[in-house]
Chains A and B, each alone.
Chain A
Amino acid sequence: NAGVTQTPKFQVLKTGQSMTLQCAQDMNHEYMSWYRQDPGMGLRLIHYSVGAGITDQGEVPNGYNVSRSTTEDFPLRLLSAAPSQTSVYFCASRQSGVSYTFGSGTRLTVV
Protein backbone atom coordinates (compact mmCIF):
# COMPACT_ATOMS: atom_id res chain seq x y z
CA ASN A 1 0.00 0.00 0.00
CA ALA A 2 1.93 3.03 -1.29
CA GLY A 3 -0.41 5.75 0.06
CA VAL A 4 0.03 9.06 -1.79
CA THR A 5 2.81 9.15 -4.38
CA GLN A 6 4.13 12.40 -5.82
CA THR A 7 6.52 12.74 -8.72
CA PRO A 8 8.96 14.24 -9.33
CA LYS A 9 10.57 14.93 -5.94
CA PHE A 10 12.67 17.78 -7.31
CA GLN A 11 12.32 19.93 -10.41
CA VAL A 12 14.00 23.02 -11.84
CA LEU A 13 12.12 24.92 -14.52
CA LYS A 14 12.90 27.96 -16.59
CA THR A 15 10.46 30.86 -16.55
CA GLY A 16 7.71 30.24 -19.08
CA GLN A 17 8.06 26.47 -19.19
CA SER A 18 5.09 24.26 -18.41
CA MET A 19 5.03 21.01 -16.50
CA THR A 20 2.77 18.60 -14.64
CA LEU A 21 3.24 17.50 -11.06
CA GLN A 22 1.88 14.00 -10.63
CA CYS A 23 -0.11 12.74 -7.66
CA ALA A 24 -1.54 9.25 -7.28
CA GLN A 25 -3.20 7.49 -4.35
CA ASP A 26 -4.11 3.84 -3.99
CA MET A 27 -6.50 4.15 -1.03
CA ASN A 28 -9.65 4.84 -3.07
CA HIS A 29 -9.97 8.22 -1.36
CA GLU A 30 -12.65 10.59 -2.60
CA TYR A 31 -11.01 13.85 -1.64
CA MET A 32 -7.72 15.11 -3.02
CA SER A 33 -6.04 18.49 -2.66
CA TRP A 34 -2.95 20.34 -3.74
CA TYR A 35 -1.17 22.70 -1.34
CA ARG A 36 1.91 24.83 -1.70
CA GLN A 37 4.11 25.68 1.25
CA ASP A 38 6.34 28.72 1.41
CA PRO A 39 8.42 29.97 4.34
CA GLY A 40 6.26 31.92 6.77
CA MET A 41 3.10 31.30 4.73
CA GLY A 42 2.03 27.87 5.90
CA LEU A 43 0.12 25.49 3.65
CA ARG A 44 -2.04 27.26 1.07
CA LEU A 45 -4.68 25.41 -0.91
CA ILE A 46 -4.31 25.58 -4.70
CA HIS A 47 -7.06 23.28 -6.01
CA TYR A 48 -9.08 20.42 -4.64
CA SER A 49 -11.39 17.64 -5.78
CA VAL A 50 -14.27 15.89 -4.03
CA GLY A 51 -14.42 13.05 -6.54
CA ALA A 52 -13.63 11.99 -10.08
CA GLY A 53 -14.70 14.66 -12.54
CA ILE A 54 -15.15 17.35 -9.85
CA THR A 55 -12.57 20.02 -9.09
CA ASP A 56 -12.64 23.45 -7.50
CA GLN A 57 -10.31 26.33 -6.77
CA GLY A 58 -8.65 26.97 -3.48
CA GLU A 59 -6.96 30.05 -2.05
CA VAL A 60 -4.19 30.44 -4.66
CA PRO A 61 -5.32 28.87 -7.98
CA ASN A 62 -3.86 31.33 -10.47
CA GLY A 63 -1.29 29.81 -12.80
CA TYR A 64 -2.36 26.24 -12.07
CA ASN A 65 -4.79 23.77 -13.62
CA VAL A 66 -6.03 20.42 -12.36
CA SER A 67 -8.16 17.56 -13.60
CA ARG A 68 -9.53 14.44 -11.94
CA SER A 69 -10.35 11.89 -14.61
CA THR A 70 -9.90 8.95 -12.23
CA THR A 71 -10.23 8.48 -8.47
CA GLU A 72 -6.54 7.63 -8.20
CA ASP A 73 -4.87 10.53 -10.03
CA PHE A 74 -4.90 14.29 -9.48
CA PRO A 75 -2.22 16.01 -11.57
CA LEU A 76 -1.33 19.68 -11.11
CA ARG A 77 -0.32 21.59 -14.24
CA LEU A 78 1.78 24.72 -14.23
CA LEU A 79 0.82 26.56 -17.39
CA SER A 80 3.72 29.03 -17.68
CA ALA A 81 6.10 28.80 -14.75
CA ALA A 82 7.06 31.98 -12.89
CA PRO A 83 9.67 32.50 -10.14
CA SER A 84 6.77 33.17 -7.72
CA GLN A 85 5.81 29.51 -8.14
CA THR A 86 9.04 28.36 -6.55
CA SER A 87 7.74 26.37 -3.61
CA VAL A 88 7.21 22.96 -2.08
CA TYR A 89 4.04 21.33 -3.39
CA PHE A 90 2.11 18.74 -1.40
CA CYS A 91 -0.68 16.53 -2.60
CA ALA A 92 -3.03 15.06 -0.01
CA SER A 93 -5.98 12.70 -0.02
CA ARG A 94 -8.61 11.59 2.45
CA GLN A 95 -11.82 9.67 2.75
CA SER A 96 -14.93 11.28 4.20
CA GLY A 97 -14.60 11.66 7.95
CA VAL A 98 -10.89 10.92 7.96
CA SER A 99 -7.87 13.22 8.10
CA TYR A 100 -5.45 13.80 5.25
CA THR A 101 -2.58 11.61 4.12
CA PHE A 102 0.12 13.64 2.41
CA GLY A 103 2.57 12.78 -0.31
CA SER A 104 6.25 13.45 0.32
CA GLY A 105 6.21 16.66 -1.72
CA THR A 106 7.73 18.13 -4.87
CA ARG A 107 10.36 20.84 -4.47
CA LEU A 108 10.06 23.16 -7.46
CA THR A 109 12.47 25.92 -8.38
CA VAL A 110 11.69 28.31 -11.22
CA VAL A 111 14.65 30.27 -12.50
Chain B
Amino acid sequence: RKEVEQDPGPFNVPEGATVAFNCTYSNSASQSFFWYRQDCRKEPKLLMSVYSSGNEDGRFTAQLNRASQYISLLIRDSKLSDSATYLCVVHRGNTPLVFGKGTRLSVIA
Protein backbone atom coordinates (compact mmCIF):
# COMPACT_ATOMS: atom_id res chain seq x y z
CA ARG B 1 0.00 0.00 0.00
CA LYS B 2 1.34 3.43 -0.94
CA GLU B 3 2.02 5.75 1.99
CA VAL B 4 -0.18 8.49 0.54
CA GLU B 5 -3.10 7.75 -1.75
CA GLN B 6 -5.23 10.15 -3.74
CA ASP B 7 -7.94 9.80 -6.36
CA PRO B 8 -6.09 10.77 -9.58
CA GLY B 9 -9.17 12.31 -11.20
CA PRO B 10 -9.50 14.17 -13.41
CA PHE B 11 -12.23 16.21 -11.80
CA ASN B 12 -13.95 18.33 -14.44
CA VAL B 13 -16.14 20.98 -12.83
CA PRO B 14 -17.87 24.15 -14.04
CA GLU B 15 -16.83 27.56 -12.82
CA GLY B 16 -18.42 28.37 -9.49
CA ALA B 17 -18.73 24.76 -8.39
CA THR B 18 -17.52 23.35 -5.10
CA VAL B 19 -15.12 20.43 -5.36
CA ALA B 20 -13.54 18.24 -2.70
CA PHE B 21 -10.40 16.12 -2.86
CA ASN B 22 -9.58 13.33 -0.47
CA CYS B 23 -6.33 11.77 0.60
CA THR B 24 -5.47 8.88 2.92
CA TYR B 25 -2.13 8.13 4.53
CA SER B 26 -0.92 4.85 5.96
CA ASN B 27 1.65 5.86 8.58
CA SER B 28 -0.02 6.84 11.86
CA ALA B 29 3.25 8.48 12.97
CA SER B 30 2.83 11.21 10.34
CA GLN B 31 2.99 14.60 11.99
CA SER B 32 2.60 17.33 9.39
CA PHE B 33 0.30 17.59 6.43
CA PHE B 34 0.18 19.86 3.41
CA TRP B 35 -1.57 20.48 0.13
CA TYR B 36 0.60 21.52 -2.79
CA ARG B 37 -0.53 22.77 -6.16
CA GLN B 38 1.30 21.92 -9.38
CA ASP B 39 0.58 23.63 -12.67
CA CYS B 40 1.40 21.85 -15.92
CA ARG B 41 5.17 21.61 -16.47
CA LYS B 42 5.90 23.66 -13.37
CA GLU B 43 7.26 22.92 -9.93
CA PRO B 44 4.94 22.10 -7.00
CA LYS B 45 4.10 25.06 -4.77
CA LEU B 46 2.69 25.05 -1.26
CA LEU B 47 -1.03 25.76 -1.22
CA MET B 48 -1.66 25.36 2.48
CA SER B 49 -0.72 23.45 5.59
CA VAL B 50 -3.35 21.24 7.21
CA TYR B 51 -4.00 21.55 10.91
CA SER B 52 -5.87 19.19 13.22
CA SER B 53 -8.58 21.74 13.89
CA GLY B 54 -9.10 22.37 10.18
CA ASN B 55 -8.11 25.59 8.50
CA GLU B 56 -9.34 27.91 5.81
CA ASP B 57 -7.62 30.22 3.38
CA GLY B 58 -10.09 32.18 1.30
CA ARG B 59 -11.98 29.71 -0.89
CA PHE B 60 -9.87 26.77 0.30
CA THR B 61 -10.59 24.65 3.37
CA ALA B 62 -8.40 21.80 4.59
CA GLN B 63 -9.43 19.16 7.10
CA LEU B 64 -7.50 16.45 8.91
CA ASN B 65 -8.93 13.37 10.58
CA ARG B 66 -6.11 11.64 12.43
CA ALA B 67 -8.28 8.75 13.62
CA SER B 68 -9.20 7.84 10.05
CA GLN B 69 -5.83 9.01 8.62
CA TYR B 70 -7.67 11.13 6.13
CA ILE B 71 -7.05 14.62 4.72
CA SER B 72 -9.36 16.67 2.57
CA LEU B 73 -9.27 19.86 0.52
CA LEU B 74 -12.42 21.75 -0.36
CA ILE B 75 -12.44 24.44 -3.03
CA ARG B 76 -15.47 26.71 -3.15
CA ASP B 77 -16.54 28.92 -6.05
CA SER B 78 -14.02 27.31 -8.44
CA LYS B 79 -12.16 29.60 -10.83
CA LEU B 80 -10.59 28.74 -14.17
CA SER B 81 -7.25 29.55 -12.54
CA ASP B 82 -7.77 26.71 -10.04
CA SER B 83 -7.13 24.19 -12.81
CA ALA B 84 -4.03 22.29 -11.71
CA THR B 85 -2.92 19.10 -10.01
CA TYR B 86 -3.29 19.04 -6.23
CA LEU B 87 -0.77 17.01 -4.26
CA CYS B 88 -1.39 15.65 -0.78
CA VAL B 89 1.80 15.60 1.32
CA VAL B 90 2.61 14.03 4.68
CA HIS B 91 5.70 14.30 6.86
CA ARG B 92 7.15 12.89 10.05
CA GLY B 93 10.31 13.62 11.97
CA ASN B 94 13.44 14.30 9.95
CA THR B 95 12.39 12.22 6.97
CA PRO B 96 11.64 13.81 3.61
CA LEU B 97 8.11 14.78 2.67
CA VAL B 98 6.05 12.03 1.03
CA PHE B 99 3.85 13.07 -1.88
CA GLY B 100 0.68 11.53 -3.22
CA LYS B 101 0.44 11.16 -6.98
CA GLY B 102 -1.92 14.10 -7.19
CA THR B 103 -5.49 14.82 -8.22
CA ARG B 104 -6.03 16.70 -11.45
CA LEU B 105 -8.67 19.44 -11.52
CA SER B 106 -10.02 21.10 -14.65
CA VAL B 107 -12.40 24.00 -14.14
CA ILE B 108 -14.49 24.60 -17.23
CA ALA B 109 -16.09 27.88 -18.32
Please report A residues at the B interface, Cβ cutoff 8 Å.
31, 33, 35, 40-43, 45, 48, 50, 58, 90, 92, 94, 96-97, 99-105
Interface string of B63-95 (1 = CB under 8 A from A): 000000000000000000000000101000010
- How many pairs, one residue from A and one from B, have CB atoms within 8 Å of each other in the complex? 45
- Contact with A45, one of B43, B87, B96, B100 (Cβ below 8 angstroms): B96
Q: How far is the CB of B95 from chain A (nearest CB, A)?
A: 8
Q: Does the CB pair B96–A42 fall under 8 Å?
A: no
Given A90-B43, A99-B34, A103-B43, check contact A58 B96 (CB 8 Å).
yes
**CA of A103 to CA of B43, assembled, Å:** 7
- B interface, how many residues as a size bin? 10 to 19
In this assembly, does B42 line the interface, its C-beta being within 8 Å of a C-beta of chain A? yes
B94 touches A41 (CB 8 A): no
Q: Which of B46, B98, B101, B102 contacts A99 (CB 8 A)?
A: B46
Partner of A42, one of B32, B42, B46, B101: B101
Chain B residues within 8 Å of A, Cβ to Cβ: 32, 34, 36, 42-46, 49, 87, 89, 94, 96-102
Instruction: State A62–B32 Cα separation when bound (angstroms).
Output: 28
List, in ascending order, chain B residues with CB within 8 A of A31's CB. 94, 96
**When the two chains form their complex, are residues A43 and B96 in contact, meaning their CB atoms are under 8 A apart?**
no
Residues from chain B with a CB closer than 8 A to the CB of A50 are 94
Bound-complex Cα distance A41 to B100 (A) = 9
Contacts A50-B94, A99-B34; A42 near B100 (Cβ below 8 A): yes
Contact (Cβ within 8 A) A43 B87: yes
Residues of chain A with a CB closer than 8 A to B34's CB: 99
Alpha-carbon separation in the docked complex, A48 to B89 (Å): 16
Contact of A90 among B44, B46, B49, B102 (CB under 8 A): B44
